[in-house]
Amino acid sequence: MTNEEQSRLKKLEEIRKLGLDPYPAICQRTISCQEVRARFNTLLKAQKFIFLAGRLVLIRHHGGAVFANLEDGTGRFQIFLRRDVVGERDFSFFKDMIDLGDFVEVEGTLFTTKMGEQTLEVRKYKLLTKALLPLPEKWHGLEDIEIRYRKRYLDLLVNPEVREIFKKRSLIIRTVREFFVGRDFIEVETPTLQVIPGGAAAKPFITHHDALDINLYLSIAPELYLKRLIVGGFEKVFEIAKCFRNEGVDWAHNPEFIQVEFYQAYANYSDLMKLTEDFFAFLIPRVCSGFKVTYRGKDIDFAPPYPKITFRDALIKFANIDLERLKTEEMLITKAKNLGLEIKDGWGRGKIIDEIFKELVRPKIVNPTFIVNHPIELSPLAKKAVDNQNYVQRFQLLVGGLELCNAYSELNDPIEQEERFKEQLRLRNSGDEEAQMYDQDFIEALKYGMPPTAGEGIGIDRLVMILTGVTSLREVILFPTMRPK
Protein backbone atom coordinates (compact mmCIF):
# COMPACT_ATOMS: atom_id res chain seq x y z
CA MET A 1 0.00 0.00 0.00
CA THR A 2 1.38 3.40 -0.98
CA ASN A 3 1.73 6.36 1.37
CA GLU A 4 -0.97 8.15 -0.61
CA GLU A 5 -3.45 5.32 -0.14
CA GLN A 6 -2.64 5.13 3.59
CA SER A 7 -3.23 8.87 3.87
CA ARG A 8 -6.62 8.61 2.17
CA LEU A 9 -7.65 5.65 4.33
CA LYS A 10 -6.79 7.70 7.41
CA LYS A 11 -8.94 10.56 6.12
CA LEU A 12 -11.77 8.09 5.52
CA GLU A 13 -11.58 7.00 9.16
CA GLU A 14 -11.59 10.63 10.34
CA ILE A 15 -14.63 11.43 8.21
CA ARG A 16 -16.54 8.52 9.74
CA LYS A 17 -15.48 9.56 13.25
CA LEU A 18 -17.09 12.93 12.54
CA GLY A 19 -20.37 11.09 11.94
CA LEU A 20 -20.38 11.75 8.19
CA ASP A 21 -21.16 9.19 5.50
CA PRO A 22 -18.35 9.25 2.90
CA TYR A 23 -20.56 7.32 0.47
CA PRO A 24 -24.11 8.74 0.70
CA ALA A 25 -26.84 7.55 -1.63
CA ILE A 26 -28.63 10.87 -2.09
CA CYS A 27 -27.48 13.56 -4.53
CA GLN A 28 -29.39 16.74 -5.37
CA ARG A 29 -27.75 17.63 -8.70
CA THR A 30 -30.08 19.86 -10.72
CA ILE A 31 -27.93 20.60 -13.77
CA SER A 32 -24.91 19.26 -15.67
CA CYS A 33 -21.67 21.08 -16.42
CA GLN A 34 -22.55 21.22 -20.09
CA GLU A 35 -25.98 22.72 -19.36
CA VAL A 36 -24.46 25.36 -17.09
CA ARG A 37 -22.15 26.49 -19.89
CA ALA A 38 -24.98 26.52 -22.42
CA ARG A 39 -27.34 28.52 -20.15
CA PHE A 40 -24.74 30.53 -18.26
CA ASN A 41 -25.94 34.06 -19.05
CA THR A 42 -29.54 33.25 -18.18
CA LEU A 43 -28.59 31.51 -14.94
CA LEU A 44 -26.14 34.27 -14.05
CA LYS A 45 -28.86 36.90 -14.43
CA ALA A 46 -31.35 34.89 -12.36
CA GLN A 47 -28.80 34.28 -9.56
CA LYS A 48 -30.67 31.18 -8.43
CA PHE A 49 -28.92 28.48 -6.47
CA ILE A 50 -27.95 25.47 -8.56
CA PHE A 51 -26.54 22.07 -7.65
CA LEU A 52 -23.60 20.56 -9.53
CA ALA A 53 -22.01 17.18 -8.85
CA GLY A 54 -18.93 15.42 -10.15
CA ARG A 55 -15.32 14.41 -9.64
CA LEU A 56 -12.66 16.89 -8.55
CA VAL A 57 -9.92 16.84 -11.19
CA LEU A 58 -8.03 19.99 -10.21
CA ILE A 59 -7.66 21.82 -6.86
CA ARG A 60 -5.77 25.09 -6.31
CA HIS A 61 -5.49 26.54 -2.80
CA HIS A 62 -5.06 30.31 -2.35
CA GLY A 63 -4.99 31.15 1.36
CA GLY A 64 -8.63 31.58 2.35
CA ALA A 65 -9.95 30.49 -1.03
CA VAL A 66 -9.95 27.41 -3.24
CA PHE A 67 -10.44 27.10 -6.97
CA ALA A 68 -11.26 23.63 -8.29
CA ASN A 69 -12.45 21.95 -11.46
CA LEU A 70 -15.45 19.66 -11.22
CA GLU A 71 -16.00 17.08 -13.95
CA ASP A 72 -19.14 15.10 -14.77
CA GLY A 73 -20.05 13.03 -17.82
CA THR A 74 -20.65 16.16 -19.91
CA GLY A 75 -17.53 18.20 -19.19
CA ARG A 76 -15.82 20.38 -16.59
CA PHE A 77 -16.80 23.49 -14.67
CA GLN A 78 -14.85 25.68 -12.28
CA ILE A 79 -15.97 26.08 -8.67
CA PHE A 80 -14.79 28.59 -6.04
CA LEU A 81 -14.86 28.24 -2.23
CA ARG A 82 -14.22 31.09 0.21
CA ARG A 83 -13.62 30.65 3.90
CA ASP A 84 -15.93 33.54 4.80
CA VAL A 85 -18.79 32.07 2.72
CA VAL A 86 -18.74 28.35 3.58
CA GLY A 87 -17.50 28.89 7.15
CA GLU A 88 -14.29 27.91 8.93
CA ARG A 89 -15.33 24.34 9.70
CA ASP A 90 -16.40 23.42 6.17
CA PHE A 91 -13.47 25.26 4.60
CA SER A 92 -10.98 23.38 6.79
CA PHE A 93 -12.72 20.09 6.07
CA PHE A 94 -12.40 20.70 2.33
CA LYS A 95 -8.74 21.65 2.70
CA ASP A 96 -7.82 18.72 4.94
CA MET A 97 -10.13 15.87 3.91
CA ILE A 98 -10.96 16.37 0.24
CA ASP A 99 -8.59 14.99 -2.41
CA LEU A 100 -8.32 14.92 -6.17
CA GLY A 101 -10.60 12.19 -7.49
CA ASP A 102 -13.25 12.65 -4.79
CA PHE A 103 -16.85 13.21 -5.88
CA VAL A 104 -18.65 16.19 -4.38
CA GLU A 105 -21.96 17.96 -4.66
CA VAL A 106 -21.81 21.76 -4.61
CA GLU A 107 -24.56 24.36 -4.24
CA GLY A 108 -24.12 27.99 -5.17
CA THR A 109 -24.54 30.85 -7.65
CA LEU A 110 -22.69 31.76 -10.81
CA PHE A 111 -20.23 34.57 -11.48
CA THR A 112 -17.41 35.42 -13.89
CA THR A 113 -13.84 35.81 -12.63
CA LYS A 114 -11.58 38.72 -13.55
CA MET A 115 -10.00 36.40 -16.12
CA GLY A 116 -13.41 35.81 -17.69
CA GLU A 117 -13.78 32.23 -16.40
CA GLN A 118 -17.33 31.00 -15.81
CA THR A 119 -17.44 29.87 -12.18
CA LEU A 120 -19.79 28.66 -9.47
CA GLU A 121 -19.30 30.23 -6.04
CA VAL A 122 -20.00 27.48 -3.51
CA ARG A 123 -22.31 28.15 -0.59
CA LYS A 124 -22.56 24.55 0.60
CA TYR A 125 -20.98 21.28 -0.45
CA LYS A 126 -21.22 17.57 0.38
CA LEU A 127 -18.79 14.69 -0.09
CA LEU A 128 -20.39 12.05 -2.32
CA THR A 129 -17.57 9.53 -2.75
CA LYS A 130 -14.16 9.32 -1.11
CA ALA A 131 -11.56 8.04 -3.62
CA LEU A 132 -8.93 5.85 -1.99
CA LEU A 133 -6.50 5.80 -4.91
CA PRO A 134 -5.07 8.90 -6.65
CA LEU A 135 -5.68 9.68 -10.27
CA PRO A 136 -2.75 8.88 -12.59
CA GLU A 137 -0.59 11.95 -13.11
CA LYS A 138 1.21 11.25 -16.40
CA TRP A 139 -1.16 8.92 -18.16
CA HIS A 140 -0.32 10.18 -21.64
CA GLY A 141 3.34 9.34 -21.09
CA LEU A 142 2.87 5.68 -20.23
CA GLU A 143 4.90 3.45 -22.51
CA ASP A 144 2.95 0.26 -21.71
CA ILE A 145 -0.13 0.93 -23.81
CA GLU A 146 -1.75 -2.32 -22.64
CA ILE A 147 -2.32 -0.76 -19.20
CA ARG A 148 -4.90 1.48 -20.89
CA TYR A 149 -6.81 -1.60 -22.02
CA ARG A 150 -6.46 -3.48 -18.72
CA LYS A 151 -7.66 -0.49 -16.71
CA ARG A 152 -10.09 1.04 -19.17
CA TYR A 153 -11.84 2.96 -16.39
CA LEU A 154 -8.69 5.04 -15.89
CA ASP A 155 -8.19 5.41 -19.63
CA LEU A 156 -11.72 6.82 -19.97
CA LEU A 157 -11.27 8.98 -16.90
CA VAL A 158 -8.17 10.86 -17.96
CA ASN A 159 -8.30 10.66 -21.78
CA PRO A 160 -11.42 12.46 -23.06
CA GLU A 161 -10.58 11.52 -26.66
CA VAL A 162 -11.07 7.86 -25.72
CA ARG A 163 -14.53 8.63 -24.39
CA GLU A 164 -15.33 10.26 -27.72
CA ILE A 165 -14.41 7.04 -29.56
CA PHE A 166 -16.95 5.07 -27.56
CA LYS A 167 -19.60 7.76 -27.89
CA LYS A 168 -19.12 7.45 -31.64
CA ARG A 169 -19.32 3.68 -31.38
CA SER A 170 -22.67 4.02 -29.63
CA LEU A 171 -23.88 6.41 -32.36
CA ILE A 172 -22.80 3.96 -35.07
CA ILE A 173 -24.71 1.08 -33.47
CA ARG A 174 -27.82 3.24 -33.02
CA THR A 175 -27.62 4.29 -36.66
CA VAL A 176 -27.17 0.67 -37.82
CA ARG A 177 -30.31 -0.27 -35.94
CA GLU A 178 -32.15 2.75 -37.34
CA PHE A 179 -31.24 1.74 -40.90
CA PHE A 180 -32.57 -1.82 -40.67
CA VAL A 181 -35.68 -1.00 -38.65
CA GLY A 182 -36.45 1.73 -41.19
CA ARG A 183 -36.40 -0.90 -43.94
CA ASP A 184 -38.83 -3.21 -42.16
CA PHE A 185 -36.29 -5.69 -40.84
CA ILE A 186 -37.27 -7.35 -37.55
CA GLU A 187 -34.63 -7.38 -34.84
CA VAL A 188 -34.25 -10.79 -33.21
CA GLU A 189 -31.99 -12.65 -30.76
CA THR A 190 -30.43 -16.05 -31.34
CA PRO A 191 -28.66 -18.35 -28.85
CA THR A 192 -25.17 -17.56 -27.66
CA LEU A 193 -24.87 -21.10 -26.25
CA GLN A 194 -25.30 -23.57 -29.10
CA VAL A 195 -25.25 -27.35 -29.34
CA ILE A 196 -23.73 -27.12 -32.83
CA PRO A 197 -21.87 -23.93 -33.81
CA GLY A 198 -22.10 -22.90 -37.45
CA GLY A 199 -22.27 -20.08 -39.95
CA ALA A 200 -18.55 -19.39 -40.28
CA ALA A 201 -15.17 -21.06 -40.70
CA ALA A 202 -13.84 -20.68 -37.17
CA LYS A 203 -12.73 -22.67 -34.15
CA PRO A 204 -15.39 -22.35 -31.42
CA PHE A 205 -15.09 -21.99 -27.67
CA ILE A 206 -16.46 -24.98 -25.78
CA THR A 207 -18.06 -25.15 -22.34
CA HIS A 208 -20.09 -27.66 -20.34
CA HIS A 209 -23.61 -27.45 -18.95
CA ASP A 210 -23.74 -29.44 -15.71
CA ALA A 211 -27.53 -29.88 -15.35
CA LEU A 212 -27.96 -31.26 -18.88
CA ASP A 213 -24.50 -32.87 -18.84
CA ILE A 214 -23.76 -31.71 -22.38
CA ASN A 215 -21.05 -29.70 -24.08
CA LEU A 216 -22.11 -26.36 -25.54
CA TYR A 217 -20.34 -23.91 -27.82
CA LEU A 218 -20.28 -20.13 -27.84
CA SER A 219 -21.80 -18.78 -31.05
CA ILE A 220 -19.33 -18.14 -33.87
CA ALA A 221 -22.15 -16.59 -35.95
CA PRO A 222 -25.97 -16.36 -35.77
CA GLU A 223 -26.40 -17.38 -39.42
CA LEU A 224 -28.00 -20.81 -39.19
CA TYR A 225 -30.54 -19.64 -36.61
CA LEU A 226 -31.45 -16.53 -38.60
CA LYS A 227 -32.07 -18.68 -41.67
CA ARG A 228 -34.31 -20.94 -39.58
CA LEU A 229 -36.39 -17.81 -38.97
CA ILE A 230 -36.67 -17.24 -42.73
CA VAL A 231 -37.96 -20.82 -42.98
CA GLY A 232 -40.40 -19.95 -40.20
CA GLY A 233 -41.99 -17.13 -42.17
CA PHE A 234 -40.06 -13.97 -41.34
CA GLU A 235 -38.89 -12.29 -44.54
CA LYS A 236 -36.44 -9.71 -43.12
CA VAL A 237 -34.49 -10.28 -39.91
CA PHE A 238 -31.37 -8.80 -38.35
CA GLU A 239 -29.36 -9.22 -35.19
CA ILE A 240 -26.59 -7.15 -33.62
CA ALA A 241 -24.84 -10.22 -32.31
CA LYS A 242 -21.87 -11.02 -30.12
CA CYS A 243 -19.73 -13.70 -31.70
CA PHE A 244 -16.88 -15.72 -30.22
CA ARG A 245 -14.03 -17.32 -32.15
CA ASN A 246 -11.13 -19.19 -30.59
CA GLU A 247 -8.44 -17.52 -32.65
CA GLY A 248 -5.36 -15.38 -32.26
CA VAL A 249 -5.40 -11.82 -30.94
CA ASP A 250 -3.92 -8.98 -32.98
CA TRP A 251 -4.73 -5.45 -34.14
CA ALA A 252 -7.58 -6.73 -36.35
CA HIS A 253 -8.87 -9.68 -34.29
CA ASN A 254 -10.44 -10.14 -30.86
CA PRO A 255 -11.95 -13.48 -29.81
CA GLU A 256 -15.16 -11.67 -28.79
CA PHE A 257 -16.63 -9.22 -31.30
CA ILE A 258 -19.85 -7.63 -32.56
CA GLN A 259 -21.39 -7.89 -36.00
CA VAL A 260 -24.75 -7.06 -37.50
CA GLU A 261 -26.05 -10.00 -39.52
CA PHE A 262 -29.19 -9.74 -41.63
CA TYR A 263 -31.23 -11.90 -44.03
CA GLN A 264 -33.77 -10.96 -46.67
CA ALA A 265 -36.10 -13.39 -48.41
CA TYR A 266 -36.69 -13.16 -52.17
CA ALA A 267 -33.33 -11.43 -52.63
CA ASN A 268 -29.91 -12.45 -53.95
CA TYR A 269 -26.35 -11.23 -53.41
CA SER A 270 -26.71 -8.58 -56.12
CA ASP A 271 -29.63 -7.09 -54.20
CA LEU A 272 -27.49 -6.95 -51.05
CA MET A 273 -24.68 -5.16 -52.88
CA LYS A 274 -27.14 -2.35 -53.58
CA LEU A 275 -28.43 -2.50 -50.00
CA THR A 276 -24.85 -2.32 -48.71
CA GLU A 277 -24.21 0.82 -50.72
CA ASP A 278 -27.45 2.29 -49.36
CA PHE A 279 -26.36 1.32 -45.85
CA PHE A 280 -23.09 3.24 -46.06
CA ALA A 281 -24.77 6.17 -47.81
CA PHE A 282 -27.12 6.32 -44.80
CA LEU A 283 -24.54 5.66 -42.07
CA ILE A 284 -21.38 7.59 -42.96
CA PRO A 285 -22.81 11.15 -43.18
CA ARG A 286 -24.58 10.65 -39.86
CA VAL A 287 -21.47 9.68 -37.92
CA CYS A 288 -18.70 11.47 -39.87
CA SER A 289 -18.28 14.93 -41.37
CA GLY A 290 -18.53 13.51 -44.88
CA PHE A 291 -17.91 10.39 -46.96
CA LYS A 292 -14.13 10.65 -46.73
CA VAL A 293 -12.23 9.31 -43.72
CA THR A 294 -8.54 8.79 -42.99
CA TYR A 295 -7.41 5.38 -41.81
CA ARG A 296 -3.79 4.28 -41.29
CA GLY A 297 -2.61 7.34 -43.19
CA LYS A 298 -4.75 6.60 -46.24
CA ASP A 299 -7.81 8.47 -47.46
CA ILE A 300 -10.90 6.30 -47.87
CA ASP A 301 -13.94 7.47 -49.83
CA PHE A 302 -17.18 5.74 -48.81
CA ALA A 303 -19.30 7.51 -51.43
CA PRO A 304 -21.07 4.82 -53.50
CA PRO A 305 -21.17 3.18 -55.97
CA TYR A 306 -18.33 0.75 -55.26
CA PRO A 307 -16.28 -1.10 -57.93
CA LYS A 308 -16.61 -4.86 -58.35
CA ILE A 309 -13.89 -7.38 -59.15
CA THR A 310 -14.13 -11.17 -59.13
CA PHE A 311 -12.14 -13.18 -56.63
CA ARG A 312 -10.23 -14.85 -59.45
CA ASP A 313 -9.39 -11.56 -61.18
CA ALA A 314 -8.28 -10.00 -57.89
CA LEU A 315 -5.80 -12.86 -57.37
CA ILE A 316 -4.52 -12.43 -60.92
CA LYS A 317 -4.20 -8.65 -60.56
CA PHE A 318 -2.64 -8.41 -57.10
CA ALA A 319 -0.88 -11.78 -56.67
CA ASN A 320 -0.28 -13.01 -60.26
CA ILE A 321 -2.11 -16.26 -59.43
CA ASP A 322 -4.76 -17.81 -61.66
CA LEU A 323 -6.82 -20.44 -59.85
CA GLU A 324 -7.88 -21.95 -63.15
CA ARG A 325 -4.24 -22.91 -63.78
CA LEU A 326 -3.83 -24.48 -60.32
CA LYS A 327 -6.32 -27.28 -60.63
CA THR A 328 -5.00 -29.63 -57.94
CA GLU A 329 -4.40 -29.15 -54.24
CA GLU A 330 -0.76 -30.14 -54.68
CA MET A 331 -0.19 -27.41 -57.28
CA LEU A 332 -1.79 -24.87 -54.94
CA ILE A 333 0.35 -25.96 -51.97
CA THR A 334 3.51 -25.68 -54.05
CA LYS A 335 2.53 -22.19 -55.23
CA ALA A 336 1.72 -21.04 -51.69
CA LYS A 337 5.03 -22.32 -50.31
CA ASN A 338 6.91 -20.63 -53.15
CA LEU A 339 5.25 -17.39 -52.04
CA GLY A 340 6.60 -17.89 -48.52
CA LEU A 341 3.30 -18.87 -46.91
CA GLU A 342 3.15 -21.48 -44.15
CA ILE A 343 0.74 -24.30 -45.00
CA LYS A 344 -0.48 -26.36 -42.05
CA ASP A 345 -1.40 -30.05 -42.18
CA GLY A 346 -5.12 -30.64 -42.73
CA TRP A 347 -5.71 -27.49 -44.73
CA GLY A 348 -7.89 -28.11 -47.76
CA ARG A 349 -7.90 -26.22 -51.05
CA GLY A 350 -10.35 -23.61 -49.75
CA LYS A 351 -8.31 -22.79 -46.65
CA ILE A 352 -5.12 -22.42 -48.69
CA ILE A 353 -6.82 -20.14 -51.21
CA ASP A 354 -8.23 -18.04 -48.40
CA GLU A 355 -4.82 -17.61 -46.75
CA ILE A 356 -3.23 -16.58 -50.06
CA PHE A 357 -5.99 -14.03 -50.58
CA LYS A 358 -5.66 -12.61 -47.05
CA GLU A 359 -1.90 -12.22 -47.34
CA LEU A 360 -1.48 -11.00 -50.93
CA VAL A 361 -4.71 -9.33 -52.03
CA ARG A 362 -6.65 -7.91 -49.12
CA PRO A 363 -3.95 -5.47 -47.86
CA LYS A 364 -3.74 -3.82 -51.30
CA ILE A 365 -7.38 -2.72 -51.46
CA VAL A 366 -8.05 0.61 -49.73
CA ASN A 367 -11.30 2.13 -51.02
CA PRO A 368 -14.55 0.15 -50.66
CA THR A 369 -14.45 -2.64 -53.25
CA PHE A 370 -16.74 -5.62 -53.79
CA ILE A 371 -14.88 -8.91 -54.27
CA VAL A 372 -17.41 -11.22 -55.93
CA ASN A 373 -17.83 -14.87 -56.92
CA HIS A 374 -15.60 -16.81 -54.54
CA PRO A 375 -14.39 -20.39 -55.06
CA ILE A 376 -16.95 -22.91 -53.85
CA GLU A 377 -14.46 -24.40 -51.37
CA LEU A 378 -14.59 -21.15 -49.36
CA SER A 379 -18.36 -20.93 -49.08
CA PRO A 380 -20.21 -24.07 -47.92
CA LEU A 381 -23.43 -22.12 -47.30
CA ALA A 382 -23.64 -20.15 -50.58
CA LYS A 383 -25.37 -20.87 -53.89
CA LYS A 384 -23.28 -21.76 -56.91
CA ALA A 385 -22.71 -19.16 -59.60
CA VAL A 386 -24.97 -19.65 -62.59
CA ASP A 387 -22.23 -19.50 -65.23
CA ASN A 388 -19.48 -21.44 -63.40
CA GLN A 389 -20.25 -24.15 -60.84
CA ASN A 390 -16.76 -23.84 -59.30
CA TYR A 391 -17.69 -20.46 -57.84
CA VAL A 392 -20.51 -19.14 -55.66
CA GLN A 393 -22.76 -16.09 -55.50
CA ARG A 394 -20.86 -14.31 -52.76
CA PHE A 395 -19.25 -10.96 -52.12
CA GLN A 396 -16.97 -9.37 -49.58
CA LEU A 397 -16.65 -5.63 -49.17
CA LEU A 398 -13.00 -4.79 -48.51
CA VAL A 399 -12.11 -1.42 -46.99
CA GLY A 400 -8.70 -0.27 -45.83
CA GLY A 401 -7.23 -3.74 -46.30
CA LEU A 402 -9.91 -5.31 -44.09
CA GLU A 403 -12.93 -7.49 -44.76
CA LEU A 404 -15.82 -5.33 -43.56
CA CYS A 405 -18.81 -7.17 -45.07
CA ASN A 406 -19.46 -10.75 -46.18
CA ALA A 407 -22.60 -11.83 -48.01
CA TYR A 408 -24.04 -14.39 -50.38
CA SER A 409 -27.10 -15.85 -51.98
CA GLU A 410 -28.00 -18.49 -49.42
CA LEU A 411 -27.97 -22.14 -50.38
CA ASN A 412 -31.53 -23.38 -49.88
CA ASP A 413 -31.24 -26.80 -51.56
CA PRO A 414 -31.21 -29.22 -48.58
CA ILE A 415 -29.66 -32.06 -50.60
CA GLU A 416 -26.74 -29.95 -51.79
CA GLN A 417 -26.35 -28.37 -48.35
CA GLU A 418 -26.10 -31.83 -46.83
CA GLU A 419 -23.33 -32.75 -49.27
CA ARG A 420 -21.47 -29.53 -48.46
CA PHE A 421 -21.71 -30.32 -44.73
CA LYS A 422 -20.32 -33.79 -45.38
CA GLU A 423 -17.32 -32.26 -47.16
CA GLN A 424 -16.81 -29.90 -44.20
CA LEU A 425 -16.98 -32.90 -41.88
CA ARG A 426 -14.31 -34.64 -43.96
CA LEU A 427 -12.05 -31.59 -43.66
CA ARG A 428 -12.70 -31.43 -39.94
CA ASN A 429 -11.77 -35.08 -39.49
CA SER A 430 -8.59 -34.37 -41.46
CA GLY A 431 -7.50 -31.78 -38.92
CA ASP A 432 -9.12 -28.49 -40.00
CA GLU A 433 -10.51 -27.14 -36.70
CA GLU A 434 -12.24 -24.27 -38.52
CA ALA A 435 -14.31 -26.48 -40.82
CA GLN A 436 -18.02 -26.36 -40.07
CA MET A 437 -19.87 -29.06 -38.16
CA TYR A 438 -22.70 -31.13 -39.58
CA ASP A 439 -26.03 -29.60 -38.46
CA GLN A 440 -28.78 -32.14 -39.08
CA ASP A 441 -31.52 -29.92 -37.62
CA PHE A 442 -30.64 -27.13 -40.07
CA ILE A 443 -30.84 -29.60 -42.97
CA GLU A 444 -34.28 -30.65 -41.73
CA ALA A 445 -35.37 -27.00 -41.55
CA LEU A 446 -34.31 -26.49 -45.19
CA LYS A 447 -36.36 -29.53 -46.19
CA TYR A 448 -39.49 -27.64 -45.13
CA GLY A 449 -38.50 -25.01 -47.69
CA MET A 450 -36.63 -21.73 -47.49
CA PRO A 451 -37.43 -19.10 -50.16
CA PRO A 452 -34.61 -17.57 -52.21
CA THR A 453 -32.68 -15.59 -49.59
CA ALA A 454 -29.59 -13.43 -49.29
CA GLY A 455 -27.69 -12.78 -46.07
CA GLU A 456 -24.84 -10.55 -44.93
CA GLY A 457 -22.65 -9.83 -41.93
CA ILE A 458 -20.95 -6.48 -41.22
CA GLY A 459 -18.22 -6.27 -38.58
CA ILE A 460 -19.13 -3.46 -36.18
CA ASP A 461 -15.77 -3.32 -34.39
CA ARG A 462 -13.81 -2.99 -37.62
CA LEU A 463 -16.29 -0.42 -38.91
CA VAL A 464 -15.82 1.66 -35.76
CA MET A 465 -12.04 1.28 -36.05
CA ILE A 466 -12.05 2.68 -39.59
CA LEU A 467 -14.51 5.50 -38.87
CA THR A 468 -12.62 6.66 -35.77
CA GLY A 469 -9.22 6.39 -37.47
CA VAL A 470 -7.58 4.20 -34.82
CA THR A 471 -5.23 1.37 -35.69
CA SER A 472 -6.27 -1.43 -33.33
CA LEU A 473 -9.51 -3.16 -32.45
CA ARG A 474 -8.52 -2.83 -28.80
CA GLU A 475 -9.07 0.91 -29.11
CA VAL A 476 -12.77 0.42 -29.95
CA ILE A 477 -13.63 -2.48 -27.62
CA LEU A 478 -14.18 -1.29 -24.07
CA PHE A 479 -12.78 -4.40 -22.45
CA PRO A 480 -10.70 -6.35 -25.00
CA THR A 481 -9.50 -9.85 -24.22
CA MET A 482 -6.08 -9.70 -22.52
CA ARG A 483 -3.64 -12.25 -21.19
CA PRO A 484 -3.90 -12.15 -17.38
CA LYS A 485 -0.86 -10.84 -15.53
Tell me the pLDDT tens digit for each residue of 173-203.
Answer: 999 999 999 999 999 999 999 999 999 989 9
**What is the rounded average pLDDT of the residues 95-123?**
97
Whether 115 and 215 share a structural domain: no
* pLDDT score of 144: 63
What is the rounded average pLDDT for all residues in the chain?
94
Output the pTM of the full model: 0.91
Residue 224 lies in a domain: yes
Tens of pLDDT, residue by residue over 12-27, are 999 999 999 999 999 9
Q: What percentage of residues in the chain have a pLDDT greater than 70?
A: 98
Same domain for 124 and 193, yes or no, is no
Residue 9 pLDDT exceeds 50: yes
Statement: residue 170 has pLDDT above 50: yes
**Is the domain of 199 the same as that of 101?**
no
pLDDT of residue 316: 94
CATH at residue 455: 3.30.930.10
Does 232 fall in a domain?
A: yes
Q: What is the pLDDT of residue 343?
A: 83
What's the CATH number where 119 sits?
A: 2.40.50.140
For the segment 159-172, the average pLDDT, to the nearest whole number, is: 95
Q: Are residues 299 and 442 in the same domain?
A: yes
Domain of 100, in residue numbers: 3-135
Give pLDDT, residue 143: 47
- Taking every pair of Cα atoms in the chain, the longest distance, rounded to a whole number of angstroms, is 90
pLDDT in tens, 354-398: 989 999 999 999 999 999 999 998 898 999 999 999 999 999 999
Mean pLDDT value across residues 241-258? 94
- pLDDT band with cut points at 50, 70 and 90 for residue 57: very high
141 pLDDT above the threshold of 80: no
Is residue 288's pLDDT more than 80?
Answer: yes
In a domain, residue 294? The reply is yes
Confidence of residue 65 (pLDDT cuts 50, 70, 90): very high
* Average pLDDT, integer, range 136-148: 63
In a domain, 360, yes or no: no
> Does residue 418 carry a pLDDT above 80?
yes
Does residue 142 register a pLDDT over 50?
Answer: no
Residue 138's pLDDT band (boundaries 50, 70, 90)? low
Domains held by the chain: number = 2
pLDDT band at 140 (very low <50, low <70, confident <90, very high): very low
Q: Within this chain, do residues 181 and 73 fall inside the same structural domain, yes or no?
A: no
